[in-house]
Amino acid sequence: MRGSATLPLCEVTRDMDKGTTYLSQTHYAEEILRTDNFWNATPRLTPMQPKTRLNKDDCDKNPAPDFHRRYLGIVGGLGYLVTMTHPDLAWAYSELSKYVQFPGKNHMLAAEHVLCYLRGTWNQTIRYSRDSHENPNV
């Protein structure tokens, strides 16, 4: 028996006979990438640039409203992905979310790098199986 459901921002597909459940947010990830004009971006191999160190010295105490709104939108969108289907983004999301009040240029560059990484992983799903001896497929 197969079944599927669409939850807000997440698709769930179950195969009771095989004992598998898949979680996917491909539509939402695509929406984020298209909204921020990163659909045609070159994919990156890591969520954050190696050796990236964000700090409060990079903060802008008075960010432009459009810049600030864009940063908040990116970080907020990543939060939904981290919660359901992209645990690989958790550390990057944690780092970026520290600076949502006063983001600076380096924070935005790091957020855009995450979007480039997401471009390469946007269609990945999480698979749960009742057979614990199987290798997990992501």
Per-residue pLDDT in tens (0 to 9) along the chain, 138 residues: 555 555 567 899 999 999 999 999 999 999 999 999 999 999 999 999 988 899 999 999 999 999 999 999 999 999 999 998 999 999 999 999 999 999 999 999 999 999 999 999 999 999 999 875 555 555
Q: What's the pTM?
A: 0.87
Res 133: pLDDT: 59
Distance between CA atoms of 17 and 67, rounded to whole angstroms?
Answer: 49
Query: Which residues, in sequence order, are bridge partners of residue 13?
Result: 4, 22
**Alpha carbon of 45 to those of 20, 27, 75: distances in Å?**
28, 21, 19
Does 59 fall in a domain? yes
Strands 10-15 and 20-24: antiparallel
How many structural domains does the chain have? 1
Crossing angle of helices 105-121 and 90-97, in 10° steps, is: 160
The residue range of the domain holding 84 is 32-122
Q: Is residue 105 part of a domain?
A: yes
Give the pLDDT score at 6.
Answer: 55
Let me know if residue 4 belongs to a domain: no
